[in-house]
Amino acid sequence: MNLRAVRPIAIGLLLLTAGCSLFGPSEAAGPATPQATGQVQVVTTSVPSAESAAEAYLAAWAAFDYETMYGLLTQLSRDALPYEQFDARYTAVALEATLTEVKYELLSSLVNPANAQVAYRVTLVSALVGEITRDTVMYLSLEGGVWQVVWDDALILPELAGGNTLSMQRFEPTRGIIYDRDGDVLAGDAEAVAVQVIPSNVEEDAGGGLASQLATLTGQNALTLSETIFAEDAPFLVPIGVVSADDFARRESFLEPYFNYIRFDRYFTRLYSIGNAGAHAIGYVGRVSAEEAEELARQGVPIDAVVGKQGVERWAETYLSGQRGGELYVVSPEGQRVTILARRDAQPSQSVYLTLDRDLQRQTQAAIRDFNGAIVVLERDTGRILAIASSPTFDPNSADFTNPISQWNTYFPDDRARFFNRATQGQYPPGSIFKMIPLAAALESGLYNRQSNYFCGHTWTGLGEDSPLNDWTLEKELPPSGELTLLQALTRSCNPWFYEIGLSLYSSGYPDLVAELARGFGLGRLTGLGVLPEEAGQITTPDTSTTGSEPPFNATQQAIGQSDTLVTPLQMAVYIAALGNGGTLYQPALIEQVLSTDGQASLTFEPTATGTLPISAETLQAIQEALRSVVNDPRGTAYRRFSGFSIAVYGKTGTAQVGAGILPHAWFIGYTNQNRADLPDIAIAVLVENIGEGSDFAAPIFKRVVESYFFGSPQSRYPWETQIGVFDPEFFNPTPEGEEGTPTDEDGPIEVTPSP
């Protein structure tokens, strides 16, 4: 705690005839020296300072250092008051008064040979009731040549003389509401209804109607609900979800025919209207923990309060909790109120509006729920975060243990890293989604141009015949891509082309160019989001790579987004947005505005540019053309996923290797270019951990998010679904390569297993 004590100006009358320093006779001064004056000898010593002793005591109080204070008391005071009681007395005052600071000022002093009085002004700064200022007096006694403080309750406040204590009556404002960009509630105090089903009660012909009505109520898929309710191992009570009392009331008449099968429990809570969707961003509230109890108590937060624990709930705690108030009383030893020391009314909390779109957030979370991974959706030309999802997720409604269907305890131990925000904190090799940077480096260096050609074969031997590097077409048993221009190399994601770029730049005097451009594209540093914790990723040069390999090899690997390059999904969304919006890197934002109850804005979003891509307009245009070809050219690695798609998409697939015997991470990043006034264009980054090809998994997820944004709901089924929203486990049962039914893409047949 940063505490500042006001330095004193001692004003007083010193009546001194003999004395010593605060800590005894000064060794520097030497022993006392007798001086002859006629028949009388006078002994001269240093002058004692009662003010210094008083200041030392008050300075220790300002630092809440009770042990030092106790050591400055007279022996008689220490004998009468054990340290434990002394510490408890000051601690009780600090906690009950919610002290954040103690300030003091010495006023005057009166010193006699063996005792002294120092008048001072003390100001106790309370988090709840403000400043309390009193003038009081400290008595000191000279013991062994040192001034010591005589303990008395009035040293704290005059009103506490005689053993009086303090008591705070607290005034708590209602916690503020978190809204989405359109004013739809994402988190707020409300009456909720926990819904459960008793499967054994459900009559055979009622199951379909029951699942349908519950799906409408909770926003879940009816078929998935039916499978959950009627599973062979279903418990006696199957938890369905939590909804607001208002939503329940609107559907109650439709649910009435099924009341014999359903259990409803009403309770008051902090309700998160979209459940686990966006939980990492919105956050949750919880009780004050033992570790933070004392610190928060001094800020006026009671031990039984709920405070923000993650996400916006934590970041915006000051806004959402409002200004707590209170009335501080002096209480006699008999428990009677003596007087009111101070009072301050509570001030209303503020409301926080996010940039999130509630419906898009729900659909984005659902789009990746079957996997471990993350999705970030940005407004391409401003940096607003419209949706941000990390999977697996958690239900913040379960953090309230009064919730009858709380699943909170099942999250621990957190072996699936549910609370880890993969979107902002996950650091992954980018693979081929990085290739726009070495392409830009090739053009900017002057060593290559748009018409430069290279034969993309199965293998590349630029590092020697005994060190071949392969193209993905070899692994997929497909013909090599053949002669390609530089832009076609990105369209086909030809690894040999980029191996060649990496090595030639390194060998031609541009060893750091790819790394420098990567940093200029916003990689290797924090995006500046601020609201959520994030990691910076890692960009090294071939000579400083941590892989332990030779620099030329590192250069080739960096050119395909491997080596030790690490990025976050948030960084990739910012990066691809800049490629789409004309070259501006925008700081991503999650807060639209913070409003007081009278409509005054404490914060308002304004687009913030953090940089411009360090490339020419011609290079940027070339990259954009190649990104369009990835999805629009029949030879593009994502063509089959977007063939016939009505939304103009520019993007790049990525398959990032993470080690031998481990399935790669699947990436797809891209942006739209519809130029609609009603729906601003978006940029999206999709990451799926340890699953396979980017075109197989990340690209379909990307497409679903685009559909949800422009059409309001998903329009096409995933390859691994039996219908939209219904997972098909049979998809992940591999069959022999080449047989009918094996999941394939333009990169050839693949074998996959589901994430845990």
Identify the CA nearest to 9 among candidates 90, 149, 122, 106. Answer: 106
User: The tokens 């601020």 sit on which residue?
Assistant: 530
Label residue 413 exposed, middle or buried (CB < 10 Å: 0-12, 13-18, 19+).
Answer: exposed
Residue limits of CATH 3.90.1310.10 in the chain: 185-272
Q: What is the pTM of this model?
A: 0.86
What confidence score (pLDDT) does residue 729 get? 86
What confidence score (pLDDT) does residue 733 get? 72
Label residue 422 exposed, middle or buried (CB < 10 Å: 0-12, 13-18, 19+).
Answer: buried
Strand partners for 190: 269
Q: Are 524 and 580 in contact (CB under 8 A)?
A: no
Rounded-to-integer distance, Cα 266 and Cα 404, Å:
9
Q: What is the per-residue pLDDT across 3-46, written as a single tens digit (0 to 9) for each?
A: 333 333 333 333 333 333 323 333 333 344 444 444 444 444 45
**Nearby residues of 427 by Cβ (< 8 Å), 6 or more positions away:** 535, 537, 538, 566, 567, 568
What confidence score (pLDDT) does residue 737 get? 42
Strand pairing class (601-604; 584-586): unpaired
Residue limits of CATH 3.10.450.100 in the chain: 13-162
SS (H, E, C) 40-59: EEEEECCCCCHHHHHHHHHH
Its CATH architecture, for the domain 185-272, is Alpha-Beta Complex (3.90)
Q: What residue ranges in 144-237 does DSSP mark as E strands?
A: 146-150, 165-171, 178-179, 185-197
CATH fold of the domain at 13-162? Nuclear Transport Factor 2; Chain: A, (3.10.450)
CA 512 to chain centre: 32
Is the omega angle on the peptide bond into residue 413 within 30 degrees of 0, that is, cis?
Answer: yes
What confidence score (pLDDT) does residue 194 get? 98
In the chain, % helix, strand, coil (3-state, to 5) comes to 30, 30, 40
Strand partners for 24: 21
Residue ranges of the chain with pLDDT lower than 50? 1-45, 735-756
The total number of residues shown for the chain amounts to 756
CA 1 to chain centre: 23
What confidence score (pLDDT) does residue 46 get? 56
Rounded-to-integer distance, Cα 87 and Cα 78, Å:
12
Q: Are 90 and 57 in contact (CB under 8 A)?
A: no
Is the omega angle on the peptide bond into residue 551 within 30 degrees of 0, that is, cis?
Answer: no
What confidence score (pLDDT) does residue 292 get? 87
CA 185 to chain centre: 20
Rounded-to-integer distance, Cα 120 and Cα 286, Å:
42
- Please report how many Cα atoms fall inside a 13 Å half-sphere around the Cα of residue 623, on the Cβ side: 32
Residues 142-177 as b/e (b if ≥16 CB within 10 A, e otherwise) read beebbbbbbbebbbbbebbeeebbbebebbbbebbb
Identify the CA nearest to 374 among candidates 315, 418, 436. Answer: 418
CA dihedral 734, 735, 737, 742 (to 10 degrees): -80
Q: Are 564 and 542 in contact (CB under 8 A)?
A: no
